[in-house]
Amino acid sequence: MNTRGIPLDKFDILKQYFGYDVFRRGQADVIDAILRQRDLLALMPTGAGKSLCYQIPALMLDGLAVVISPLISLMKDQVEALRSSGIHAAYLNSSLARGEYADTMNRAMRGEYTILYIAPERLDRGDMQALSAALPVPLVVIDEAHCVSQWGHDFRHSYLEIALFIKQLAQRPAVAAFTATATPKVKDDIIAQLQLRDPFFITTGFDRENLYFEVQKPKDKYLALLGMVRERKDKSGIIYCATRANVEDVQRRLSDRGIPATRYHAGLTDQERRANQDDFIYDRKPVIVATNAFGMGIDKSNVAYVIHYNMPKNIESYYQEAGRAGRDGEKADCILLYSPQDVQINKGLITRGDDEYSSAAEDRIKYNLEMLKQMTFYATASDCLRGRLLSYFGEKPPPFCGNCSNCNTQFEEIDITLESRKILSCVYRLKERGRQYGKGMVADILLGVDNQKIRQARLNTLSTYGIMDGDGAYRVRLIIDELERHGFLAASGGNYPVLSLCEKCRSLLRGEQNFTMMLPREAGPGPGALFAAKKRPAADPALLAKLKELRFQTAREEAVPAYIIFTDAALLDMCAKRPRTEEQFLDVSGVGEAKLKRYGGIFLRAIRDFSADRPEESAPPRPDLS
C-alpha cells in the first residue's frame, strides 16, 4: 500500500478500481516506464486505453499527478468516470465558478486528490505554482500531445507553455505524452517542444479492427447521408462538415425529416455549444452535425458511426475524427462522402485562412497542401483503405483487410498456388548457386528484367528467369509478401534483408497443398464477397432494454452520461453472463469494487427479476467477444 492505502500492484488496481482482468497491448509497458520515472511518448489509437496508462501509476505514486488536457468536456468525463470508480480526482478550467475553483484548489492543496486535470491555459497562474510547491508532483501527463506541434493537425499555442511549467517544478517529474495520431515529423516535434529526456517510445499500432472504412462518391450527398442515418436510426453518430454553412444546412434538413440531430461549430455561443454537446453525450439527441471544432476529448463510448460529409484536410484529422466511433470495441462505421469539390474547399481553407483556421506561413501552406494530396489519394484509391491509413502512419499492412469498402468490392480470392511455386523455385535455384537476394531482385528475376546487375551475375540463365513476365511487378511483390506473412519465406539480414526458404514451403513445392490470397481484381470493380465479421451473439433484447432503461434512470439521477455508469459493452456482458451474486457481478467486464458497491444491488436485482420471469431460460454461455 502507498500512503493513501491504495495497492501498489498494477494488476490489483486494474481489477479493484476499473474492473478488468488483463491489460491491453502496451498498457503494462507504459505503466512500468512511468513508475521508473521515465519520460515517454505513447502513440495509442482511440479506444486503446490511454487513460489507464497514467491513471494507474498516478494511484501508485505519492503526490499529485497533473494531467494537462485541452478540452473541458474531456476533463469532465474523465473525472466523473474516476469518481464513479472510487478515485479522488478533480479538474480546473474555465467552466468552474470562482468559488468552485477556489474550493477545488484548496482541497488539492490539502492533498485530497490523486489526479488533477488542468487546462494548459491555466499553467502560468500563481496558484498553480503554489500548489506545485506545496505538494510533490511525481507525474505530469500531456494528453492530445500532438497539439504542441505546429506540424500537427490541431496546434494549440497554450501547449508551448507546458515545458516551462515542468521546468519550474521543485523536482522534475516523469513526463508522459500521449496522442492517437502522429507522423514521424510530429513525433520528433513533440519530443523537442516538451523537452522530453531520453523518452521511452511506444506505439501500439494504429489499426482498430472493429472499424469499417468506406468511401462513397454519391451524386447527391444529402440523400446518401439521409439513407445512412435512417438505416442507423437507433444508433449514435457524428456527421462532420467542412464549413459552418454545411453544418447548419445538414442539421436543419435532418431535423425537418424528424431525425433528432443537433449541431456544433465555433459560430455558436458557448452556452449553445455546451447545451448541444450535452444533448449528444446524454443521448437526448443521438446525432450531432459538426465542424472539426467538435470531438477532441469526447469520451462517448457508444458512437456507432462517423460520417464525413466533406473530406478533411489531412489523414491525421480524418483518422482521429473517424476514430471517435467504436470506442467500446463494438463494430462501427467510418464513411467518407467524397466529391472533387471537397478538394477545392480545403485548398481555399488552407491558402486563404478562415476564422476557424489560423493563417500559415508559406512553408506550412505547402506542407498542408501535400497533406491534402495524401488525403485525396485515400479518398480516390481503389486498393485497401485500411492499408492506406496504416501505411501513412508507417505501418506495413496486409494488402487486403476484408473490412473496408474497397476490399469488399475491388478484391477477390485468387488461387496463387502456381505463382507461389514459381517464386519458391526461384529462391531455391538461387540457393543452389550460393546466392541470396532481397524481394526486389527476386521479383526482377521472375519478371525477366534485363539490366546490368542481372546480366553480370548471370541470373538471366536461371530456369526461373522471366517465368512470371505476364504477372506485373506489383502483383509479384504482393504474392512474395503473402508468402512471407504465412511462413513459406523468411526475410532476414539486417538493413538489406534477403529471402530464404522455410521448412513449411516443402508441401507447397511438392504440390501437397494449395494457396490462395485476396488480390485486386484485374478487370475493375465487381461484386465481392461481403465482409463476414465475427459478431457478438445477439443479447436478449428484452433484458438489454431493461438494463439500458435502468442505466438511463440511474444516470439521470446522478446527472452524468449513461456510459459513465456502465458502457454498452458492460451491459452486453451482463446479458451474456447473467450474474446472480456480487462475486459473479465482479466478473463483468468494466465492473470494479466501487461500481459493485454503488450499482451492483440494483442491476443484480434487475437481472434476477428478469430471470425469475423466465424460469425456462438458463444463463447463456459467454459469447465470443473477439
Closest CA to 598 of 43, 85, 18, 34: 85
328 pLDDT band, cuts 50/70/90, is: confident
Average pLDDT, integer, range 357-361? 50
pLDDT score recorded for residue 313: 92
Average pLDDT, integer, range 361-388? 86
Q: What is the span of the domain harbouring residue 261?
A: 211-397
Model confidence pLDDT, tens digit, residues 576-592: 899 999 999 998 988 98
155 pLDDT band, cuts 50/70/90, is: confident
What mean pLDDT, rounded, does the chain reach?
Answer: 86
Residue 42 has pLDDT above 70, yes or no: yes
Of 62-76, 149-163, 476-490, which range is least confident?
A: 149-163
Residue 6 has pLDDT above 80, yes or no: no
Asked if 155 and 192 count as a contact pair (C-beta separation under 8 A), the reply is: no
Q: Is 241 left (phi over 0), alpha (psi -120 to 50) or beta?
A: beta
Domain assignment of residue 623, yes or no: no
Domain assignment of residue 501, yes or no: yes
CA–CA dist 300, 518 (Å, integer): 35
CA–CA dist 382, 365 (Å, integer): 28
Domain assignment of residue 589, yes or no: yes
* Rounded percentage of the chain residues whose pLDDT exceeds 90: 50
Question: What CATH number is attached to the domain comprising 326?
Answer: 3.40.50.300
350 and 241 co-located in one domain: yes
pLDDT score recorded for residue 1: 55
530 pLDDT band, cuts 50/70/90, is: very low
Domain assignment of residue 246, yes or no: yes
Q: Which of 139, 172, 203 finishes a domain?
A: 203
385 and 328 co-located in one domain: yes
558 and 502 co-located in one domain: no
Domain assignment of residue 535, yes or no: no
Q: Is 113 left (phi over 0), alpha (psi -120 to 50) or beta?
A: beta
pLDDT score recorded for residue 418: 93
152 and 178 co-located in one domain: yes
CA–CA dist 484, 61 (Å, integer): 45
pLDDT score recorded for residue 3: 52
pLDDT score recorded for residue 360: 45
pLDDT score recorded for residue 408: 83
3 state DSSP class of 335: strand
CA–CA dist 137, 172 (Å, integer): 8
Domain assignment of residue 562, yes or no: yes
150 and 288 co-located in one domain: no
Question: What CATH number is attached to the domain comprising 602?
Answer: 1.10.150.80
Q: What would the grid cell of residue 206 be? A: 494504429
Q: What would the grid cell of residue 138 be? A: 511525481
Q: Which of 158, 175, 203 finishes a domain?
A: 203
Asked if 588 and 573 count as a contact pair (C-beta separation under 8 A), the reply is: yes
Residue 522 has pLDDT above 70, yes or no: no
245 and 304 co-located in one domain: yes
DSSP string, 33-76: HHHTT--EEEE--TTS-HHHHHHHHHHHSSS-EEEE-S-HHHHH
CA–CA dist 476, 467 (Å, integer): 11
Model confidence pLDDT, tens digit, residues 426-474: 999 999 999 999 999 999 999 999 999 999 999 999 999 999 998 888 7
* Rounded percentage of the chain residues whose pLDDT exceeds 70: 91
Helices 417-432 and 439-447: crossing angle, nearest 10°? Answer: 110
Q: Which of 152, 178, 203 finishes a domain?
A: 203
181 and 109 co-located in one domain: yes
Long-range contacts of residues 444-448, Cβ cutoff 8 Å, at least 24 apart: 446/422, 446/471, 446/476, 447/471, 447/472, 447/473, 447/476
Domains contained in the chain, number: 4
Model confidence pLDDT, tens digit, residues 243-287: 999 999 999 999 999 999 999 998 999 889 889 998 998 889 999
71 and 151 co-located in one domain: yes
Residue 372 has pLDDT above 60, yes or no: yes
Domain assignment of residue 534, yes or no: no
Question: What CATH number is attached to the domain comprising 459?
Answer: 1.10.10.10
25 and 47 co-located in one domain: yes
